[in-house]
Structure 1
Amino acid sequence: MTASDAEAKASVAAMFDRSSATYEGLEGEYFAPMGRALVSRAGISPGSRVLDVGCGRGAVLAAAAAATGPSGAAVGIDLAPGMIERAAAAVADLPWVSVALGDAADPDFPDASFDAVLAGLVIFFLPAPEDALAAYRRVLRPGGRLAFTTFAAQDPLLGAVVKALTPLLPGGPVERPVDRFTGTASIGALLGDWDAVAFAVETFETPFAGKDALWDWFWSHGMRAVLERIPADRLDEARAIAYDAMDPAVGPGGGIFLRTSVRITTAIRPE
């Protein structure tokens, strides 16, 4: 790993650590339904040993724990201490579930340790996804399953807000990691030597009470990386600009719905 890769990884981990207090905690569930869908598509059976990389506060891990049950084991790793602290609290009563600080790009476990490796909205944040997939293959048993999610299509409102805020960003437009791997071709190129590669798209709708709620939610996840680039003395201006960009999406009662399509990719480690 290059120095720039290490710096990028540390930056992402720090950003999510700052987000951890409110991640998936402001407006009900955004990530949890996606986590449940990922686990369902992964076909995890009771007694399975499952690794959730980049587990955050446990959107995927909780669903994996329910699928494996007490006869199995679910392990979550993340580089953000705040995420790990909160995920650990959420699964404290489940003795077959554990969480620890760990690198989603290079999980430190023995070969063939797991029946399944899960990665919920993580792959596009990794500096070298191809190396991460090689690491997942190593820790999977032969015939084990890899399952991960990427965005197939985010709500146009998010892009409209980012575009409206771009003039306030020093250095101009920013490349958003979430825009990587939105199509099957780029994902398939990473999985050329895996078996039974399959794709499915599921769409989720998330309600927000209004503009204030949506703005606060922006600070609770990866979009925070965009907002933190805006000079502090221009944040009030940024908020006003963002609210204007939200106008077309506001419903009759002032609420806003986000419609998000997620691609679930599954593959089998060759025997």
Structure 2
Amino acid sequence: MDVFDEVAADYDSVGVDFFTPMGAALVDAAGITAGERVLDVGCGRGAVLFPAAEAAGPQGRVTGIDRAPGMVALTGAAAAHLPQVTVELGDAQAPRFRPGSFDVVTAGLVLFFLPDAGAALRAYRELLRPGGRLAVSTFAAHDPRHRAVMRTLASHAEDPPAPPAAAATFQDPDRLREAVAEAGFSGTTIAPFTVRSRFRDLDHFLAWVGSHTGRAVLRRIPAARWPAARAAIVPLLPDPPELTTTIHLVVTRVPAR
């Protein structure tokens, strides 16, 4: 089962500030205005979708796509009261819409998961009208404590998954600028945004790890290894646990004709 489908019910829903403030910051950076047509690729549970819908207003049109049926079902149900919002199955790698259909395309923490991010960026350009905007976010700096915890948990897992191959590319602002320029965008701005995530205790932290892609590691830890895994991560975190994460907010444009 795809991990995003597996975690859909818990994703961004365990009482921790993480994806929601990042999504709101991306929408703010994109400068979405009333009446605009927006495509949110890899919409998940709506961290970008819902603030985009608020910004576009009832005269706008916001379409969210995600490849995970569970995400689509739950987010679609949550958006049922918003007539300007549509949520449907779709591939962030190659969205199937008419060229020039949108004023804004957003992609919150999506690009580094895709098999060919450059091709995806070129596809987004085709979907935008002349002068349209692309707004994407990528991780800039994970809290070192998070990295240490995940490495330690993975050491107790059987056949843990590898991190996304493209993750390092999209942490570097210069490489980000180069990637969007190669896709035909210009006027790029990149700004940092930092979120501090606080947890009640270790169980709350682990519930959060298991509510997103971290579940791919947790589910591979045999029950007999869990006591040792928990004991190993305790000294790596403050009490109560806390993490600081910084992302890049990237906004770029299709040249006007």
Q: Does 1:111 align with 2:96?
A: no
Q: Supply the distance in 2 between the matched residues of 1:70 and 1:197 (Cα, whole angstroms).
A: 29
Q: Supply the distance in 2 between the matched residues of 1:238 and 1:122 (Cα, whole angstroms).
A: 29
Tell me what 2:197 maps to. 206
Tell me what 2:251 maps to. 266
Structure 1 runs (4+) greater than 6 angstroms displaced: none
Counterparts of 1:1-271 in structure 2, within 5 Å, are: 14-170=2-158, 174-176=162-164, 178-192=167-181, 193-246=184-237, 249-250=238-239, 255-271=240-256
Contact 1:164 1:245 in 2 (8 A): no
Matched residue type, 2:251? T
Cα offset for 1:58?
0.4
> How big is each residue's C-alpha offset from its partner over 1:118-177, in whole Å with a ceiling of 9 and x where there is no partner?
000001100100010011011111110000000111112210102223432445783345
Aligned length: 253
Q: Supply the distance in 2 between the matched residues of 1:232 and 1:130 (Cα, whole angstroms).
A: 40
Structure having the higher helix fraction is 1
- Determine helix, strand or coil for the equivalent of 1:181: helix
Q: Supply the distance in 1 between the matched residues of 2:40 and 2:178 (Cα, whole angstroms).
A: 22
Contact 2:41 2:66 in 1 (8 A): yes
Relative to structure 1, the CA distance from residue 172 to residue 50 in structure 2 (aligned partners, 3 Å threshold; closer, same or farther) is: closer
Contact 2:32 2:55 in 1 (8 A): yes
Contact 1:119 1:148 in 2 (8 A): yes
TM-score normalized with structure 2 length: 0.92
Q: CA RMSD in A?
A: 1.8
TM-score normalized with structure 1 length: 0.88
Relative to structure 1, the CA distance from residue 221 to residue 258 in structure 2 (aligned partners, 3 Å threshold; closer, same or farther) is: same
Q: Supply the distance in 2 between the matched residues of 1:69 and 1:172 (Cα, whole angstroms).
A: 43
Matched residue type, 2:245? T
Q: Supply the distance in 2 between the matched residues of 1:16 and 1:122 (Cα, whole angstroms).
A: 12
Relative to structure 1, the CA distance from residue 107 to residue 27 in structure 2 (aligned partners, 3 Å threshold; closer, same or farther) is: same
Matched residue type, 2:206? W
- Give aligned-pair identity as a percent: 44
Contact 1:151 1:261 in 2 (8 A): yes
Contact 2:41 2:64 in 1 (8 A): yes
- Determine helix, strand or coil for the equivalent of 1:59: coil
Q: Supply the distance in 2 between the matched residues of 1:108 and 1:173 (Cα, whole angstroms).
A: 29
Contact 1:215 1:239 in 2 (8 A): no
Contact 1:174 1:226 in 2 (8 A): no
Q: Supply the distance in 2 between the matched residues of 1:158 and 1:63 (Cα, whole angstroms).
A: 27
Q: Supply the distance in 1 between the matched residues of 2:235 and 2:87 (Cα, whole angstroms).
A: 41
Query: Mind listing any 5+ residue stretches in structure 1 that lack a counterpart?
Result: 1-10
Matched residue type, 1:65? A
Cα offset for 1:245?
2.6
- Determine helix, strand or coil for the equivalent of 2:171: coil
Matched residue type, 1:109? F
Matched residue type, 2:200? A
Tell me what 1:6 maps to. none
Q: Which stretch of structure 1 is more off in the superposition, 74-83 or 233-242?
A: 233-242
